[in-house]
Amino acid sequence: MSTFDEAKNNYLLTTLPAYEFASVRQALERVSLTTGQVLHQSGYDFDYVYFPTTALITLLYLTESGTSVGVGMIGREGVLGIEIFMHADTALSLAIVQNGGIAYRMKTDAFRAKCAAAPACQATMLRYTQALFDQVSQAAVCNRFHTVQQRFARWLLESSDRLGANRLTITHEQIAGSLGVQRSSISIAAHNLSSSGIIKVERGSVTILDRPGLELAACECYKVVSDDYYRLLGQRIPREHSDKPSQPCNSDIPESATFTTNL
């Protein structure tokens, strides 16, 4: 009788044919990621690629002045370090663990070799590369044209999908850092959505109560990114959710990172 392999909680891994998954699985190492952990920095070489299963990773773009803003997030639907597949050796963004959890990592050389020998893996990674590029591009549009409340609603939906939880353990300050806005703007947006019965706000956590209502409150960017992922990879970003909270955020984004304000 076969048992379920926890690594298959990552959607990209579970889509691989059994024989390709078995080959890739040999090079994977299970690791526990902690909130606030920096996985790679802009301009530095990659050591590993990461396939999250219960962790959530935020991508931040850094400017020469030292400011930064979130441009994407990666959870159980994707892989961090896809640039390696495209034969890039250094990262363009800062990758920080937004919610601690489990991921499976693989050394970069092994990742290239395994995918080169596996046609389905190559195709999956190419499609995911396009999906991630589209997500980052859409984030740029969203940061420029949409209100803080719309962006906050979109952020909650995307985080919930990638974590598989309706309750997100995170502070307003951390959300503001990810969206590149002032904390007070997040507090106002959270109050508005809470007053409408869409979310429940408690100290250090946000619970989604009315998902259809939250989707209506979000800008069109959430649906655009979700539909694009479906177009490229044949399935919606997984939306199975539980009431179990995400792992507590016991660490803030490093003090060395400052954030742009886009109100």
- CA distance linking residue 251 with residue 170, whole number of Å: 10
Percentage of the chain modeled with pLDDT above 90:
59
pLDDT in tens, 9-61: 999 999 999 999 999 999 999 999 999 999 998 888 889 999 999 999 999 88
- CA distance linking residue 123 with residue 131, whole number of Å: 12
- Rounded to the nearest angstrom, the gap between the alpha carbon of residue 117 and the centroid of all alpha carbons in its chain is 27
In this structure, is the dihedral angle defined by the CA atoms of residues 63, 182, 78 and 101, taken in order, positive or negative?
A: positive
- CA distance linking residue 80 with residue 100, whole number of Å: 15
Q: How many CA atoms lie within 13 A of 229 on its CB side?
A: 22
Residue 58 DSSP one-character state? E
Which residues contact residue 64 at a Cβ distance below 8 angstroms, ignoring those fewer than 6 apart?
none
Q: Which residue has the tokens 């609603």?
A: 153
pLDDT in tens, 95-147: 999 999 999 999 999 999 998 899 999 999 999 999 999 998 998 889 889 99
- CA distance linking residue 27 with residue 114, whole number of Å: 9
Nearest to 11 by CA among 261, 239, 210: 239
- Rounded to the nearest angstrom, the gap between the alpha carbon of residue 48 and the centroid of all alpha carbons in its chain is 17
Residue 54 DSSP one-character state? S
Q: What is the pLDDT of residue 102?
A: 97
Average pLDDT over residues 199-204: 93
